[in-house]
Structure 1
């Protein structure tokens, strides 16, 4: 199959040149190209489709590296002991970590978090991302991070804070500053 199919007709032609038993791997449910008889697949009312409808269908990907997740959920930090363990693991692995100090009531924090999770997917193997809700953790942890404004994004390496970005302005600017901060230390 062509890596780049500029035209749906090419994709249709290449799919229908396959054996019928290979076609079911292309179905991923109601939104698939085989869901309706529209010239691009099987009719659900046909006997050929009814036998396959009862099976478990999974989307088949030929290029898994192209289908990496768009976002990675940041792991929450709950207390000082957990923070110490994370810093020690990062020190042993010689990888920096990024900590997002945020609050559940902070509108900018809430808006920034999904963008940071998207950035975390870009640096999946190089940097680990964590978040701390300052209202749900002990105050000594917040004092240890020396947090006075939110959101504050800090990069920690070798057990100490190396750089920080205070995100009081537009989210895309904050993300660019965080990206530059990560690139300095990775």
Structure 2
């Protein structure tokens, strides 16, 4: 009887494992993966990001914070609280803190607002011509994969890319003081090391960890994978440091939210990921409320940089809905705006502007109180309706446009 029970338990355990494996495979296959190019300037990785409603170039830093220079903060209308504090990396001076309204990297990473350091520009930032720095805290809700061979950064949710193998993983933590700290194996011993993508030295051993090596060439493993040709230096630091040369030996993924990182040799499937496409052209659909950005606005709606007086570009009046995902009245009005766009399809062009993403448009048109709708006529400039939260309000203004 006992043997029979044991057999049943074993069968149930096997079934549970099979179900778990199947679920995990399905989950991994449902992972969305966005591949973005990055610029390599003297070994520094520079990516495009929209911080505070304005897009710019930012330096990716495994030890840094989300930070903008004083000049970039002024462009975005971000006000410093004047409270300077320490920065994890030497050579960066914090002059204050601010909140950036709107944060986007690609189409995957998004936040309504993000806490940001305001820093003084320095020789490195000026040389690279960037607006600031992006630390890995910005990617807490996505898995970041770096491929130096393809010069790409992948953003995936909710899991790692399928080509990164589960067996090739280990622990990672994001320290407020030190940045990314990964578990490595040196001469068979687990060691916590700072991952520093600015550091040219491949491996800098702390005084404590140097005792494991005793002057010999150490064997080093990252996530179970042996890493070769690492020259060793020593320093009187609290942590061992692994430099950016590891990125030249394989693909690395950081799943900050789950406290895991993955590392494996190149050409293990990542080459199947298509490179990011160039910026897509906005396609305008008649009878719809079309989403537009700053560039399209200037070229096709009204060039506010050339003229202080509103001049509608084109042969039809326009209706521009300034909105945000967190604005309840805005979201309730969306179907109404779509209905009106269809009704006035051949007479009026309807647009919408996300105020979190388009910070310059938000500032130019003072769209801090939303819903805001701007009605641009062909002859009489433009008018605005704050709190345009009913069909009657909007349609009454449209009728005035058509007179």
The TM tier, using the shorter chain, reads 0.5 to 0.7
Q: Which residue of 1 aligns with 2:329?
A: 108
Counterparts of 1:16-95 in structure 2, within 5 Å, are: 72-79=287-294, 81-87=295-301, 91=312, 93-95=314-316
Instruction: Find 2:393's aligned residue among 173, 177, 185.
Output: 177
Q: Which residue of 1 aligns with 2:81?
A: none
Counterpart Cα distance in 1 of 2:395 and 2:287: 16
Give the superposition deviation at 1:96: 0.8
Structure 1 stretches lacking a partner, 5+ long: 1-70
Q: Write the deviation string for residues 9-58 of structure 1: whole angstroms up to 9, x where unpaired.
A: xxxxxxxxxxxxxxxxxxxxxxxxxxxxxxxxxxxxxxxxxxxxxxxxxx
2:342 is equivalent to residue 127 of structure 1: no
Give the superposition deviation at 1:104: 0.8
Counterpart Cα distance in 2 of 1:140 and 1:101: 12
Counterpart Cα distance in 1 of 2:342 and 2:365: 24
The answer (yes or no) to whether the contact 1:98–1:127 under 8 Å persists in 2 is: yes
DSSP 3-state at the match of 1:164: strand
DSSP 3-state at the match of 2:334: helix
Q: Which residue of 2 aligns with 1:142?
A: 362
Give the superposition deviation at 1:158: 4.2
Q: Which residue of 2 aligns with 1:153?
A: 373
Give the superposition deviation at 1:119: 0.7
Give the superposition deviation at 1:148: 2.4
Give the superposition deviation at 1:88: 5.5
Give the superposition deviation at 1:93: 3.4
Give the superposition deviation at 1:83: 0.4
Higher relative contact order (CA 8 A, sep 6+): 1
Q: 1:176 to 1:111 in 2, by over 3 A?
A: same
The answer (yes or no) to whether the contact 1:73–1:117 under 8 Å persists in 2 is: yes
DSSP 3-state at the match of 2:361: helix
TM-score, with structure 2 as normaliser: 0.25
Counterpart Cα distance in 1 of 2:315 and 2:380: 12
Counterpart Cα distance in 1 of 2:379 and 2:348: 14
The answer (yes or no) to whether the contact 2:319–2:349 under 8 Å persists in 1 is: yes
Give the superposition deviation at 1:161: 5.2
The answer (yes or no) to whether the contact 1:88–1:159 under 8 Å persists in 2 is: no
The answer (yes or no) to whether the contact 2:372–2:387 under 8 Å persists in 1 is: yes
Q: Which moved more, 1:84-93 or 1:105-114?
A: 84-93
Q: Which residue of 1 aligns with 2:382?
A: 162
